[in-house]
Amino acid sequence: MTNKVEICGVNTANLPLLSNKEKMELFEKIKTGDMAARDKFIGGNLRLVLSVIQRFNNRGENVDDLFQIGCIGLIKAVDNFDTSHNVKFSTYAVPMIIGELRRYLRDNTPIRVSRSLRDIAYKTLKAKEEYINLHSKEPTVEELAKIIEIPKEDIVFALEAIQDPVSLFEPAYNDGTDTLFVMDQVKDEKNSDEMWLEEIALKEAMTHLSDREKHIVNLRFFSGRTQMEVADEIGISQAQVSRLEKGALERMKKYI
């Protein structure tokens, strides 16, 4: 999707590249309010937007829309970048671009989240960002709850509500040969190797029972019937069902 030559009328094959020296010179001009230098700097970093939107190319979104939103993040990064921190511009800009794209995807997700939940989530994220800038560490949920004066349960619920849904077939890791997908990291509680082996062992053990014992075990442990219900169905007393069941289980234990 992102291999097209033209995006939003921009020929991606002809995007300019700026050297570090050119970037620093342009930033000095941007500080003085030179809008032409600002435009040139933005144009010289559009390749950064292209590289970032490739991470979102499996969301089914129009690439032109993603590129435009990414450009908004780039512009915000340019307007807020502080050269005195001795940080590369790309290091600062990439999280800004990603954040802008995630906000766009959250607001346009097919899973509708109420306005009040979104407001709590955005208020929390803003408070979190301010806390990190001030203390250089991540705040706890309890600390965020005190800052924005909202119960921590509501904060957790709101943050979970705005999480982007992830496809099970989304690549999680690639070492150049084999790709590891999200579904490969999801534990299957029902069809685990242990459950599979236990089922085989049970079936094998039941082959050593008589037909009546098999029927009783099936009704009791696979159909969820009570001993009285089993007794009524096969026409014997509840005491006989209990005795046959106990004997069947003891016999099965020898083979498991």
pLDDT at 3: 46
- And the tokens for 88? 């590369």
CB 28 within 8 A of CB 84: no
CB 138 within 8 A of CB 128: yes
CA angle 69–133–137, rounded 5-degree value: 110
pLDDT at 165: 59
pLDDT at 2: 43
- Whether the pLDDT of residue 111 is over 60: the answer is no
How does residue 196 score in pLDDT terms, banded at 50, 70 and 90? low
Instruction: List the beta bridge partners of residue 180.
Output: 173
Strand duo 10-11 + 6-7: pairing: antiparallel
Q: Taking residues 73-102, what's their average pLDDT? A: 85
pLDDT at 147: 92
Q: Which domains does the chain have, with CATH numbers?
A: 1-109 (1.20.120.1810), 112-163 (1.10.10.10), 193-255 (1.10.10.10)
CA distances from 254 to 191, 196, 214 (A): 25, 19, 16
CA atoms within 13 A on the CB side of 132: 7
pLDDT at 1: 42
CB 88 within 8 A of CB 45: no
> From CA 228, how far away is CA 249, in angstroms rounded?
18
pLDDT at 4: 45
pLDDT at 179: 62
Looking up tokens 């807020």 gives: 80
Q: Taking residues 145-168, what's their average pLDDT? A: 80
Q: Identify the DSSP state of 58.
A: T
How does residue 146 score in pLDDT terms, banded at 50, 70 and 90? very high
Closest CA to 164 of 222, 217, 110, 91: 110
> From CA 141, how far away is CA 153, in angstroms rounded?
9
pLDDT at 191: 53
pTM of the model: 0.43
pLDDT at 186: 59
- Whether the pLDDT of residue 176 is over 70: the answer is no
Weakest-pLDDT range from 9-23, 146-160, 233-247? 9-23
Weakest-pLDDT range from 34-38, 131-135, 141-145, 185-189? 185-189
CA atoms within 13 A on the CB side of 140: 3
- Whether the pLDDT of residue 131 is over 70: the answer is yes
Output the average pLDDT for the chain.
79
Closest CA to 23 of 92, 109, 103: 92
How does residue 121 score in pLDDT terms, banded at 50, 70 and 90? confident
Q: Taking residues 1-25, what's their average pLDDT? A: 67
Measure CA 126 to chain center: 21
215-230 pLDDT, tens digit per residue, is 998 888 888 888 888 8
pLDDT at 166: 59
